[in-house]
Amino acid sequence: MKRIVFTLFAALLLTATLTAAAQDAPRRYGIKSGIIKLISSTAGVDTPETQYFDDYGAKESIVYTTDIPGVVKYDNWVITIGNTMYGVSVTEDKRNYGKPSENPVPDLTFNNPSPEVTAKYNIKELGEEKFLDRNCKIFSYETTQRRTTITHKVWIYKGVILKQQSKIRNRDVLIYATDFQENVAIPAYAFQIKD
């Protein structure tokens, strides 16, 4: 049960944080591409995740493993291209594709957000702090999921979230980077949405 609750919270947090701008819109990130190793922690469960992005954030994905001992083990991918999100599960190298959905926060960015975006998400700059050997700006922002307001605090490096603390209902969720490779080649499978 804890694993299912964690998966739901991780997916909710992911939809609030993983967004990509359309190709002709301003760049989401100040870095062309990246691979970020993350730990997502909630309800006493730590889950490793890997985030990929390319084209300054126009394409983004995150993968984490669901493991129910003795029942099933598979990788979950949430891939965002433009304003569309795709869910993909991979079991024994077989990819199963869910229906695409609309990105719930297509305009959320910390790389020079417009006044409209700043007001919409109640973005506030809180200061600066070094994290993962990078100078980060700290912001707070809010999203709404099913009439529930979720408050987030993020450490941003060139538009990229390297650490995030969120309060989702009565649960604290922490996601933080343990490694970040900038401007590297991204494997094609990270954005694979069809066979």
Q: Where are the domains of the chain?
A: 2-191
Across the range 127-156, mean pLDDT stands at: 94
Q: What is the pLDDT of residue 15?
A: 39
Determine phi and psi for 131, rounding to 5 degrees. -145, 135
pTM as predicted: 0.83
pLDDT at 140 over 70: yes
Q: What is the pLDDT of residue 71?
A: 83
| Pairing mode, strands 148-157 and 160-168 | antiparallel
* Tens of pLDDT, residues 39-68: 999 988 899 999 999 999 999 999 999 888
Residues 6+ apart with CB under 8 A from 143: 16, 104, 105, 108, 121, 149, 150, 152
| CA distances in angstroms from 68 to 38, 53, 164, listed in the order given | 21, 28, 26
Average pLDDT of the chain to the nearest whole number:
86
pLDDT at 11 over 90: no
Q: 145 by DSSP, 3-state: which?
A: strand
The domain made up of 2-191 has a fold known as outer membrane lipoprotein receptor (LolB), chain A (2.50.20)
